[in-house]
Structures are given as structure tokens and as C-alpha cells.
């Protein structure tokens, strides 16, 4: 496995693979890798001959007072994990390599509709930063396929629309959320949790599961379920950001006649912001 830090190096290596007719896969990450990231690499290995994992803490997708400066940077450990996972190439550029003229002067990409609401509402500019850097990575790597985790459900929807609207020749694969045994979704930010917060954290998944069971059984009082979940999370020590039941395809608030539903949740536990989601099928009585 090789690691490169510049676009020139990256393109030279990938040109050689393309001449050999190799299919190229991309796994974009911000590093501090865990089992969830490695599952994405495995998905990419199944779909491509060459797997490129990018490691770049993208400043454009962090808002004011977010954790850009404190976000863990663990390149050596990440490289060790990726090599063991069968990754082919690591692309770990600097911010200057990606944004040589600075953020303020850089072209930005906005994906309408699916970027709105949920994380898009509480983290202004976040998905603009995501869409911009993903577009750049697609142009840099020119992958045949790219793999993203379903834990970031809204982000995956944004990327799918971005690729469709801009007619990008990239197949997007969504990979299921990887969880700890107690249900907590794997996340680089889990490391911020204190021991007591980590003990409480699985309540987030338990809350979604309880709502999902009731939706599956046909319950349609979405506002009531959302408020009940919000109160339950607050009682458990969380500070809810949002908890919303949406149509899985549009990410708009679910209607009683919708059958494909997703519960989107974001909540703070201490200073750590956790996100998660759960998709269910509702049976509509005939």
C-alpha cells in the first residue's frame, strides 16, 4: 500500500492502473478510522480492483465553534488499519493542496432540497462543504465507484443527487451502519464520550428502535412519536438536536400514506454530537 499527499502523485499512479484496465474504487474519509470505515473499504474491494481511501479533514464542512481543530488526526494508525484491510492507495492531501487559494475564494457546490432540514438546518454550510469536497475528490481520483456509509443518511442522499444532477460517471454504493454490540453506531466522534456518556449513548439507538417498531405496526402520529422520543432522550441526559420521521426517498416529513420511512436523529451527549438513523417499512391496512 502506498500513501501520497499531492494530486500530481495521485494522478500518476492512477494513470498506470487505468492503462491496465483496472476498476478504481474510492472511499472518502476524514481519518481516525474505525470498523465502520474498514467495512466501506471491504465494500469497495468487492466492487473494484484498486481501492483509494482519501484522508482529509475538510475545513469547508465545519461550522463556527465546531471541532475542526480538535478533530483527531491519526494518519499512521489509519495507514496501518488500511494496509491490513487490503486498501491499495491512501490519498492524504493538506488543506493547501485541496484549497490552494483558500476557502473564501473557492468555488462551492450547493445541492438543493435534500440538503435542507435536519443536519442541513442545524449545521449551515455543512453540506455545501461536503458536496464541494466530494466533487473535487471525484475529479481528482475519477473513480468508477465510491462507497459511503448509510449512518450519514442525509449526506448519502446529497451525494446521490449530486452525482445524478451533474451526470457524474460514478456508481455510488451505500454501506450499512456498523454498530457496537450495544447498538451504538461506530463514529470517530465516539472517542469524545466520557465513560458515563458512553454508557448512556446506546439509548439513542434504543429510542429509534422503539419508534421503528410502532411505525412498522402502522402508527401514523409522527409528531407524537417524535415528541415522545425527544422527551425520552432529554430524560436520559441527551440534548436533542432533531428527531424526525421522513420519507426515505425525499427526506421530507413522512405522510400517513408513506410506507418507506426513515427516523433521523441527532443529539448531544455532553459536548459530543451523535447522529444515527433507522429505516423501516410500514404496513398500510388495506
Residues taking part in catalysis: 37
Identify the bridge partners of residue 278 per DSSP, sorted by sequence position. Answer: 263
Amino acid at each position: 500500500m502506498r500513501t501520497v499527499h499531492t494530486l500530481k502523485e495521485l494522478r500518476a499512479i492512477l494513470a498506470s492502473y487505468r492503462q491496465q484496465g483496472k476498476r478504481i474504487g474510492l472511499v472518502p474519509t476524514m481519518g481516525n478510522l474505525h470498523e465502520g470505515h474498514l467495512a466501506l473499504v471491504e465494500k469497495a474491494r468487492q466492487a473494484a480492483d484498486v481501492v483509494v481511501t482519501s484522508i482529509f479533514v475538510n475545513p469547508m464542512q465545519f461550522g463556527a465553534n465546531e471541532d475542526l481543530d480538535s478533530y483527531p488526526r491519526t494518519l499512521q494508525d489509519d495507514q496501518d488499519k488500511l494496509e491490513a484491510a487490503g486498501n491499495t492507495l491512501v490519498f492524504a492531501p493538506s488543506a493547501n493542496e485541496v484549497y490552494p487559494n483558500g476557502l473564501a475564494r473557492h468555488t462551492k457546490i450547493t445541492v438543493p432540497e435534500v440538503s435542507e432540514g435536519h443536519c442541513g438546518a442545524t449545521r449551515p454550510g455543512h453540506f455545501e462543504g461536503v458536496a464541494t469536497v466530494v466533487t473535487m475528490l471525484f475529479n481528482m481520483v475519477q473513480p468508477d465507484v465510491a462507497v459511503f456509509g448509510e449512518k450519514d443518511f442525509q449526506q448519502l442522499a446529497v451525494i446521490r443527487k449530486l452525482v445524478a444532477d451533474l451526470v457524474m460517471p460514478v456508481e455510488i454504493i451505500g454501506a450499512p451502519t456498523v454498530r457496537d454490540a450495544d447498538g451504538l453506531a461506530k463514529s470517530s466522534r465516539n472517542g469524545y464520550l466520557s465513560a458515563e456518556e458512553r454508557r448512556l449513548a446506546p439509548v439513542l439507538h434504543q429510542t429509534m428502535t422503539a419508534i421503528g417498531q410502532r411505525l412498522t405496526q402502522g402508527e401514523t402520529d409522527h409528531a407524537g412519536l417524535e415528541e415522545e422520543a425527544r422527551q425520552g432522550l432529554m430524560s436520559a441526559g441527551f440534548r436533542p438536536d432533531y428527531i424526525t420521521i421522513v420519507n426515505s426517498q425525499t427526506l421530507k416529513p413522512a405522510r400517513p400514506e408513506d410506507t418507506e420511512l426513515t427516523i433521523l436523529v441527532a443529539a448531544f451527549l455532553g459536548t459530543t454530537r451523535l447522529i444515527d438513523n433507522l429505516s423501516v417499512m410500514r404496513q398500510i391496512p388495506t
